[in-house]
Structure 1
Amino acid sequence: MGFFTLLEVATMPVLQVLLISILGAFMSTEYWNLLNADARSYLNKIVFNIFTPSLIFASLANTVTLQDVITWWFMPVNMGLSFLVGGILGWIVVKILKPEPYLEGLIIATCSAGNVGNLLVIIVPSICNEDGSPFGDPNICSSVVLSYVSFSMALGGFYIWTYTFHLVQNSASTYKATQVAEESLSRKPNNDFDTNSESHLLKADDQDQTSIQVISTKAIAEDMEKELVFAQSSGKAGDEIPFWGKLTGFLHQIVEELMSPPTVGGIMGFIFGCVPFLRNLIIGKTAPLRVIQDSIKLLGDGTIPSIILILGGNLIKGLRSAKLNPLIIIGVILVRYLILPLIGIGLVKVAGDLGFLSPDPLYRYVLMLQFSLPPATSIGTMTQLFDVGKEECSVLFLWTYLVAAFALTIWSTVYMWVLS
């Protein structure tokens, strides 16, 4: 399989993302005005509450069985390690480059979460069907790879909407809380209410009005002092929360995140996939309730194009106003397309030598490829949801996806050489 053939295969999904992004950008301009800020916000809520849970549920329920989980037990571990290592590397990038506080969660998320959805679905089956594929019979390869890719896609959705969602939410909450605290401490009484003997409003003969005005000024000043004292005392009180109180708050936060629609969709899909009775109700041509699965899958198919359209809509404003240091873009590209793939090769080789993996080269190829994908487009949904770093996210995705075509081609070649 030649380099240019691989380049063509790797470029197709990347071009799809870029073309749909361009369409979203035009839809957000004043000429069309189909995807303005309000429209993007509403569409994003639909993606978060309806489309994404449907996509994750349909993928898990249709492809994951209890036997698959037992056989492919290393795949969740492998993907979890890619998210963990990428998050650590992203944290290092943040500490070195010191970006704006509201960008910290976005940078760590783009370094950790890979797009295991539409890219794997297009790239891996295409390689199976090419002449000279190192994975054997194209027919057998194509049938097996769909299971690998679907399982990866479902796992990726679960990790993204737990681990990555927590990163972005935490960063956004911390940044907004800091902003509120700074605004509260910096507020001062409005001097326009202060009065003196030369004030135009006090030239009236009614002295009662003068006294009321002075009293109201003092009241405002006293209220501001009380607010400052309360803000300071709240900060001190937070440090005195007992251990069990902190633990309860932490568990409460975890439960809230697990109750997010995408996570609930993943849990329900896993249950329906692993329980034979429930699976037979909705999966298969003879399933009595197969219309439910078909309807959910139809909704899930709208996830990826909707997310990319939103990213494109944010791109116009991002190119004009995004405060993104070019070194940050370079740092994310180095993490995603240089450091993580090298770590992935070493991890899969070690796991194979220890006997944790089946000898199937296609399975190992999918595991390696999970370390070299561009950032997950779902991150754009999260930044839109929390209204933090939307424009910067679009600009960051533009550059990482432009580099992705060549990076995926090079690493696919290296992976097949290593596995041959």
Structure 2
Amino acid sequence: MGFWSLLEVASMPVIQVLIISVVGAFLATDRCKLFPVEARSSMNKVVFVLFAPALMFANLAQTVTLEDMISWWFMPVNMGLTFLIGGILGWIVVKILKPPPYLEGLIVATCSTGNMGNLPIILVPAICDEDKSPFGNRSVCRTVGLSYASFSMALGGFYIWTYTFRLIKGSAMKFKDIEESKKTAIKSSNSDLESDHKTHLLGAPEESLVKQETGFWRKGVDFLHEILEELRAPPTVGAIIGFIFGAVTWLRKLIIGDDAPLRIVQATAKLLGDGTIPCMTIILGGNLIQGLRSSAVKPVVVLGIVCVRYILLPIIGIGIVKSAESFGFLPADPLFQYVLMLQFTLPPAMNIGTMTQLYNVGQDECSVLMLWTYLVAILALTVWSTIFLHLLV
């Protein structure tokens, strides 16, 4: 498979994202005025509460069985490593570049969270369909490749709506705390003018004792509460239910298959889930107009994220996959290894834009980061796919 053929295949899903983003940007312009901030916010809530959970459930229930979870056990490990290593590299980028506090979580999320959804679903079968595909029989390659890509998509959604969701939520809470602390500092400075030194001396010991007694238990309760809140997020609930239906045979037979009595449930969930990616991309494009005007993202931040996602992570990914192969952890299928390597090379997940819109923090900057990372992805995916194919075949 030649470089130019691979360029065409690898660029198609990325160009699709860019075209839909341009449509969203045009709808949000002052000339068109069909997609204002209020409309984007409302659509984003529908995506979060309805479309994304339906997508998670439909994909997991249909593509993931208990046997797949056992035989493909290294894929969730590999994906977890992409999030972990990307998060560490993103943290290093934050410490070096020192962006505004409200952008720290966004930068780490952009470095660690790849688009495990629509890109592999389009890219892997497209490579199988090529006449000179290195992965053997076209129909077998396409069927198996779709299973790998669907499993990757489902797992990615679970990681994104737990790990990445926590990052963006934490960034939003941090930003709000900073704003509130500024207001509190102003109020306290004013109240200090009305109090004397005796007031401070009397109040300090009691306050410190209360903090010592309640601090540990309060942190523990708050941590458990945060975990429960994240597990209650609609996409996470959809993913958990999808895992259950996929793993339990009799539940799976209720909704999956031509003879399933409740197959209409799966068909409806799939129909709703199909609206997730277009809606997320249109919202991202709508935010792009305002982001280009008022974004606080510096070029060096974009460069740092591009280096992490398209240089460091793919190199590390090759080392991890090849090491796993040498230890006998992987099935004897080069297509499976290709999907694992591809997970280290993908541009940032579109769901990040949904989260920033949901918490109203960094959505303009997110749209700008997405624009540049997806533009670079056209060439990066092609180059790295060519390298992966030469290593595997």
Determine if the TM-score, normalized by the shorter chain, exceeds 0.5. yes
Partner of 2:118: 118
Report deviation, 1:35: 1.1
Out of 250, 258, 282, which is 1:309 matched to? 282
Tell me how far 1:242 sits from its aligned partner: 4.4
Alpha-carbon distance change, 350 to 189 in structure 1, aligned in 2, over 3 angstroms: closer
- State the alpha-carbon separation in 2 of the partners of residues 234 and 388 from structure 1: 33
> CA deviation digits over 1:100-138, x for unaligned, max 9?
000000000000000011110111100011122111111
Partner of 1:406: 379
- Matched position secondary structure for 2:261: coil
Aligned-pair identity in percent equals 61
Distance in 2 separating the partners of 1:141 and 1:36: 44
For the pair shown, which has the larger CA radius of gyration, 1 or 2? 1
Q: Which residue of 1 aligns with 2:162?
A: 162
- The amino acid of 1:39's aligned partner reads A
Residue among 224, 227, 242 paired with 1:254: 227
How many Å apart are 1:418 and its aligned residue? 0.5
What residue in structure 2 maps to residue 298 of structure 1? 271
Question: For residue 410 of structure 1, what is the amino acid of its counterpart?
Answer: V
- Is the Cα contact below 8 Å between 1:56 and 1:300 reproduced in 2? yes
Q: Which amino acid aligns with 1:321?
A: S
1:133 and 2:133 aligned: yes
1:116 aligned counterpart, secondary structure: coil
User: Which of 129-138 and 105-114 deviates more?
Assistant: 129-138
Provide, for residues 301-349 of structure 1, a one-character-per-residue CA deviation record: whole Å limited to 9, x for no partner: 0000100111111100100000111100000000000000000000000
Is residue 28 from structure 1 mapped to residue 28 from structure 2 by the alignment?
yes
Q: Give me the whole-angstrom Cα distance separating, in 2, the residues matched to 1:340 and 1:55.
A: 27
> Does 1:333 pair with 2:282?
no
Q: Distance in 2 between matches of 1:330 and 1:267?
A: 36
How many residue pairs align between the two structures? 387
Amino acid at match of 1:411: W
Deviates more, 1:398-407 or 1:171-180: 171-180
Match of 1:241 among 191, 214, 217: 214
Decide which of 328, 332, 336 is 1:363's aligned counterpart. 336
Residues 128-277 of structure 1: pairs in structure 2 closer than 5 A: 128-187=128-187, 241-277=214-250
Q: Which residue of 2 aligns with 1:43?
A: 43
Amino acid at match of 2:123: I
Name the counterpart of 1:380.
353
Counterpart selection for 1:287 from 260, 266, 270:
260
Task: Name stretches of at least 5 consecutive residues in structure 1 with no aligned partner.
Answer: 191-217
TM-aligned CA deviation for residue 139 of structure 1: 1.1
Query: In structure 1, what is the Cα distance between the partners aligned to 2:157 and 2:101?
Result: 26
Residue 392 in structure 1 maps to residue 343 in structure 2: no
- Using the TM superposition, give the Cα deviation of residue 246 of structure 1 relative to its aligned residue in structure 2, in angstroms: 2.0
Calculate the aligned-residue CA RMSD, in Å. Answer: 2.2
Aligned counterparts of 1:118 and 1:159: Cα–Cα separation in 2: 16
Shift of 1:234: 7.9
SS in 1 for 2:214: coil
Query: Matches of 1:355 and 1:69 in 2, distance apart?
Result: 17
Deviations, residues 132-162 of structure 1 (Å, cap 9, x unaligned):
2111111110111111010000000000000
Paired with 2:164 and 2:218, the residues of 1 have a C-alpha distance of 25
TM-score of the two chains, using structure 1 as the length reference? 0.88
Which ranges in structure 2 are unaligned for 5 or more consecutive residues? none
User: What TM-score, normalized to structure 2?
Assistant: 0.94
